[in-house]
Amino acid sequence: MADLAAIAEALIRGDRDTVGALVQQALDEGVDAEALLNESLVAGMDVVGRKFKNNEFYVPEVLIAARAMNAGMELLEPVLAETGARPAGTVVIGTVKGDLHDIGKNLVGMMLKGGGFKVVDAGIDVAPEKFVELAQESGANLIGLSALLTTTMTQMGNVVEAVKEAGLATKIMIGGAPITQDYADEIGADGYAPDAASAVDLARRLMG
């Protein structure tokens, strides 16, 4: 019988081949895809997130674990789509206009996927109207904004305004090196996360 804890452990080790093989085995045995997602991949990425927060893991370990998670997700996604399983929520993420940094954004995207969210990656140098358009198209619950420069972080306020003007109920979370909770409060964002693991906790909280 499929051992879901073993999948989580392989993911934490970053062993993508084992994750892929065990997820396939579980699917072949008829394990429920949603239970498989939550009890193996999401559970494993939660541990990775905790270790990252506690400085037991660093960015390379998180990236390796995320790659292992993707090996499982590639097999699971088509099955989840067929069963009509609902993701934890849909998040549009992107780096704001004028900013070309994407490592932090990519890390957050991977962690959100690992947390069971559907992620729409808008890329880098994204204009406020593009965030609005993607949120409307995907029916996103959340928009995640990233900025690494003090000169580009002001764009975050423009996105908050654009979302309000469009009449969307989509909540906005922000992060990046120069960003603080005070800044999030100042521009009217719904939340701030200091790192990728905290972004998943914040997204879950905002989903209520």
Please report, for the domain that includes residue 96, its CATH number: 3.40.50.280
Mean of the pLDDT values across residues 99-127?
A: 95
Distance (Å) of CA 172 to CA 77, 109, 198: 26, 15, 15
Q: Which pLDDT score is estimated for 81?
A: 86
| Residues 94 and 167 placed together within one structural domain of the fold | yes
What is the per-residue burial (b if ≥16 Cβ within 10 Å, else e) of 121-138? Answer: bbebbbbbebbbebbeee
The CATH number assigned to the domain holding 23 equals 1.10.1240.10
Mean of the pLDDT values across residues 6-21?
A: 97
Q: What is the domain extent for residue 127? A: 90-207
| Residues 119 and 180 placed together within one structural domain of the fold | yes
| Residues 76 and 100 placed together within one structural domain of the fold | no
Q: Is 58 helix (H, G, I), strand (E, B) or coil?
A: coil
Mean of the pLDDT values across residues 25-49?
A: 95
DSSP 190: S
Domain termination residue (choose one: 58, 83, 108)? 83
Residue 1 has pLDDT above 80, yes or no: no
Q: Which pLDDT score is estimated for 83?
A: 86
| Residues 139 and 97 placed together within one structural domain of the fold | yes
Q: Which pLDDT score is estimated for 159?
A: 98
Which two tokens mark 76?
A: 């699971």
Q: Which pLDDT score is estimated for 85?
A: 84
Residue 70 has pLDDT above 80, yes or no: yes
Q: What is the pLDDT of residues 84-112, one digit of tens each?
A: 888 899 999 999 999 999 989 999 999 99
Distance (Å) of CA 120 to CA 40, 138, 166: 23, 8, 19
Beta bridge partners of 94: 123, 145
Mean of the pLDDT values across residues 116-137?
A: 97
Q: Global pTM? A: 0.88
| Residues 102 and 179 placed together within one structural domain of the fold | yes
| Residues 30 and 104 placed together within one structural domain of the fold | no
Mean of the pLDDT values across residues 125-134?
A: 98
| Residues 77 and 41 placed together within one structural domain of the fold | yes
Domain termination residue (choose one: 24, 56, 83)? 83
| Residues 64 and 112 placed together within one structural domain of the fold | no
Number of domains making up the chain: 2
| Residues 68 and 108 placed together within one structural domain of the fold | no
Q: What is the pLDDT of residues 148-205, one digit of tens each?
A: 999 999 999 999 999 999 999 999 999 999 999 999 999 999 999 999 999 999 999 9
| Residues 47 and 149 placed together within one structural domain of the fold | no
| Residues 94 and 194 placed together within one structural domain of the fold | yes
Domain termination residue (choose one: 63, 83, 103)? 83
| Residues 98 and 73 placed together within one structural domain of the fold | no
